[in-house]
Structure 1
Amino acid sequence: MGVLRRQGVEPTVVLQELDALAADDVDWADGRLMSGIYDPGETAHDLAAEAYRRFLAPNALYINLYPSAAAMEKDILDSVIELLRGDEQVAGSLTTGGTESIMLAVKAARDHARAHRPEITRPNIVLPVTAHPAFHKAAHYLGLEVIMTPVDTTGFRADPEAFAAALTPDTILGVGSAPNFSHGTIDPIEAMAAVASEQGVLFHVDACVGGIYLSVLRRMGGMGREVPAFDFSVPGVTSISTDLHKYGYAPKNASLVMYRDRELRRHAMFVCSATTEYAVINPTVLSSRSAGPVAAAWAVMRHLGEEGYERIVGETHQATGRVLAAIADIDGIEVLADPEIAMFTLASEEVNVFELDDAMKARGWTLLPQFACGGGPANLHVSVTWTNLPHMERFVEDLAEAVEELRDAGPAVDRQAMATAVAELEGAPLDHKMISLAGLAGITGDGVPEKMAALNTILDLLDPAERDQILATFVNLMS
């Protein structure tokens, strides 16, 4: 039907309609959403909303017209660069999210290579299998090859020797995570950056999740565990991405990409004055952008202060430690790796984790399923944030109950039968395969089923390239 009608309606009616549209959404504020939302609490949230509203209209593209946006961005960058132990040479930009920050870092590396290593004709980037998909997206957009390296399957940290062996004369960028999002563990950044530097390769640290959290934790002495060096104090690190809208607790969309110096940042920029239009000067991917997210991030950081972040990180870190200790006592479930931040993954040899996801969803919890990859099994990702803390005891109780329930009942999804069915479809045309797999997963014309275990199990059985093709085709048809 669309949104545009012949006659408009009153604002109160519009808001009622918006509430109706959101009726089936996950309640992000109830403390049981364990991924994707980083809620700073009601006071900071309301402050951010008001700051966002006041700067909703100003266009941060036009810093000559809205110097306030540039001033707030500089304040934010100055504070985060200091947290990441950068010097006065470090420069950066505020972006809409980690993916944009990563894309800019990759673009800077590509254009830097064009300027300084023109002999490279088929540039590549080298990264561990635990690196964020945004690097693959950036490589796809920018025409680069991706070389993935293995990780150890105990800690899911990059293997420095495998990383070193993967570097080629055409490598323009190496990547490490602090931490990786999937398991919450930090790659050996010092060793990887040193190898990259020795070979004249730029090195990016993806600290989108952990940049602020880990820096604050380090300032607090690590709370019983040393925080590995990952920031600009590490020789060879040439760029870092850090999200403000994750453990910086700012609302979306706010992230930072920072470069060792302005010369490198210059390669991330796009400038064009060769048209009849106005001159375009973009340090980021976007051109026009609301100053709202800048103001909201500035307001949250100004409100919380260093003490506020220390309190939030300290309480969250301690609570996560208690949760991990409690989960260790639950039979039939395990935590993969030993996370260095307030996020972890749940796996099991006794129950289907996708059925466990459905069971937890029935109890009001929202987790994030992850497919088997890199030598690790399928698992459920859990991010712990400050507003989850009052509910974590209940989380452990519900998790134990759900695991016991599934162990007693036995598998509802026959993984072996599905594996056989998937194998029989090898080589079949895509449309035939999708129809068959949809039937196995219980997908009808009404959309995806309420319980996702069968669908996720099927997807987990597929080769990643085939899975990507099917997911893209499905979403394209459904949206």
Structure 2
Amino acid sequence: MTGGTERASFPAGGAQWEDISQRMADFSAKDIDWRGGRAPMFVFKNDATTQEIGLKAYTMFFVENALGGGRAFHGIGRMEREVLDYGLDLLNAPEGAKGVFTPGGSESIFLAVKAARESHRARAGAPRHGLNMVMPDTAHAAFDKAAQVMDLEIRRAPLTEDKRVDPEALRALIDDHTMLIVGSAPCYPHGVIDPIDALSAIALESGVWLHVDACVGGWILPFYQMNGAPLRAFDFALPGVRSISADLHKFGFCPKPASTVFFRDVADQERSVFVADQWPAGVFRTATLAGTRPAGAVAAAWAVLNHLGTEGYRKAAARMAAMTDAYIADITAIEGMEFWAKPDMTLINFGSRRHDMMNVAAAMMQKDWLVSMTRRPVGIHLMMSLLHESARGQYIADLRAAIAQSRSDMPTPQSGTTGYA
């Protein structure tokens, strides 16, 4: 028995696709209806054509290994370089900047933290141990992962009324052992962009590395800006920004796993590289923590970016903005409901001072919606892509019903339905 279930025996083999595919479909029969917009995270879709192009490109390079890009698989190497060039262009990177294609945002953040640590250690007289990172209270848990692995202290700065980090409170936490400060574009809990311009000034003044976590917004916010949205600057146009993480598999609408991390100059990127040379096989050097990486993810990202281009992403950004505005209008029209922040993107977090949001969440789950929540303050959280566009009417109707239902005794949501994705 494993975890309360019977352990599966190793298969005898010989199963054919018809049987295998049916069994897999049976396993997935109770999945949340994510295609119908009932999952508040995990899947990001633009349209069926984009998804199909990504799938075809992925399977075209299903066998190749991106670890060998440029050595064995020259096409994958070229596509990877071009994807990174696209990101550097989009994020206003200066000449000499360099990017890395990674399997996900957590690894992109990890590489930036490692590079910042090595940069701090290289400074004359800088402490090598007992180092800390200073970041908003809303910074993603991936920084906690990096801190655990690298034995770093985390100092979290409080927020202002609009749920953005308080720059002066963050400044007060910096000392000689601070190797990194962080801002989000946008933060996961509230979908707001931190005042990166103020953090940039602090970084230049203090000499501390500034990383912008744009895992959510990096590949779409520039198109919001092109469409005229009055968003805060967050990229390399601000001179204090040393690195930026940005996920392709979120609002770049590319197949998983695909993320990127960009560095202001190649020397910074070199500090993120892993090199081992003590074993008999010689020097082993990788730009990522992962060795083998799926070449299909590289090819699919290249294909999707070339398919959508500036025009396609601007259209997607316009639709996403309109969809978010519609959700906000519908939810605020419900008596007693309010938003904890005015979002800059499609991440929304709403709650109530009159209704028990845990009971509301339980009622929504009874209606087959997967619910994500925040705990400070207690709220229901949606990280919406265009899958949620057609689901709005049903969501709002069920939310109204759930609020009415929540006035009676309701069980609280099961563990695992709250917190970060």
Residue type matched to 1:171 in 2?
T
**More helix, by proportion:** 1
Contact 1:354 1:456 in 2 (8 A): no
Deviation string for 1:44-99 (max 9, x for gaps)?
A: 21221121111121111112001112211111111121111112221010111110
Q: 2:413 aligns with which of 453, 466, 472?
A: 453
Say whether residues 1:163 and 2:170 are aligned partners.
Answer: yes
Residue type matched to 1:338 in 2?
K
Residue type matched to 1:9 in 2?
A
Aligned to 2:41: 35
Could you tell me how far 1:454 is from its partner in structure 2? 6.4
Q: 3-state SS of the aligned residue for 1:212?
A: coil
Aligned alpha-carbon RMSD (Å): 1.9
- Measure the CA separation in 2 of the matches of 1:135 and 1:159: 19
Aligned to 1:54: 60
Q: 3-state SS of the aligned residue for 1:346?
A: strand
Q: 2:98 aligns with which of 64, 82, 91?
A: 91
- Measure the CA separation in 2 of the matches of 1:295 and 1:455: 38
- Measure the CA separation in 2 of the matches of 1:140 and 1:455: 24
- Measure the CA separation in 2 of the matches of 1:456 and 1:315: 31
Pairs aligned (count): 412
Q: 1:109 aligns with which of 112, 116, 128?
A: 116
- Runs of 4+ more than 6 Å apart: none
| Structure 1 unaligned regions, length at least 5 | 414-451, 461-479
> Percent same amino acid at aligned positions?
36
- Measure the CA separation in 2 of the matches of 1:93 and 1:200: 24
Is 357-366 or 49-58 further displaced after alignment?
357-366
Could you tell me how far 1:455 is from its partner in structure 2? 4.8
Say whether residues 1:380 and 2:380 are aligned partners.
Answer: yes
Could you tell me how far 1:118 is from its partner in structure 2? 4.9
Say whether residues 1:181 and 2:188 are aligned partners.
Answer: yes
Aligned to 1:412: 410
- Measure the CA separation in 1 of the matches of 2:300 and 2:308: 12
Aligned to 2:273: 269
Quick one: structure 1 residues 118 and 277, their matched pair in 2 at CA, closer, same or farther if it must change by over 3 Å? Answer: farther
Question: What TM-score do you get using the length of structure 2 for normalisation?
Answer: 0.94
- Pick 1 or 2: higher relative contact order, CA cutoff 8 A, min separation 6: 2
Aligned to 2:152: 144
- Measure the CA separation in 2 of the matches of 1:312 and 1:7: 45
Residue type matched to 1:74 in 2?
R
Contact 1:204 1:237 in 2 (8 A): yes
Is 285-294 or 272-281 further displaced after alignment?
272-281
Contact 1:210 1:247 in 2 (8 A): yes
Is 315-324 or 23-32 further displaced after alignment?
23-32
Contact 1:29 1:39 in 2 (8 A): no
Question: What TM-score do you get using the length of structure 1 for normalisation?
Answer: 0.83
- Measure the CA separation in 2 of the matches of 1:343 and 1:282: 34
Deviation string for 1:183-208 (max 9, x for gaps)?
A: 00111111112112211100000000
Q: 1:125 aligns with which of 130, 133, 136?
A: 133
1:290-329 residue pairs with structure 2 within 5 A? Answer: 290-329=294-333
Aligned to 2:218: 211
Residue type matched to 2:307 in 1?
H
Contact 1:125 1:174 in 2 (8 A): yes
- Measure the CA separation in 2 of the matches of 1:246 and 1:454: 26
| Structure 2 unaligned regions, length at least 5 | 1-6
Could you tell me how far 1:352 is from its partner in structure 2? 2.4
Residue type matched to 2:358 in 1?
F
- Measure the CA separation in 2 of the matches of 1:300 and 1:367: 29
Aligned to 2:32: 26
Could you tell me how far 1:278 is from its partner in structure 2? 4.7
Deviation string for 1:362-381 (max 9, x for gaps)?
A: 33322312223xxxx21111
Contact 2:102 2:288 in 1 (8 A): yes
Say whether residues 1:71 and 2:69 are aligned partners.
Answer: no
Say whether residues 1:390 and 2:390 are aligned partners.
Answer: yes
Aligned to 2:251: 247
- Measure the CA separation in 2 of the matches of 1:7 and 1:401: 49
Could you tell me how far 1:280 is from its partner in structure 2? 1.4
- Measure the CA separation in 2 of the matches of 1:391 and 1:288: 38
- Measure the CA separation in 2 of the matches of 1:117 and 1:343: 42
Deviation string for 1:151-183 (max 9, x for gaps)?
A: 12x311000000100000110100000110110
Could you tell me how far 1:357 is from its partner in structure 2? 1.8
Residue type matched to 1:394 in 2?
Q
Could you tell me how far 1:6 is from its partner in structure 2? 2.8
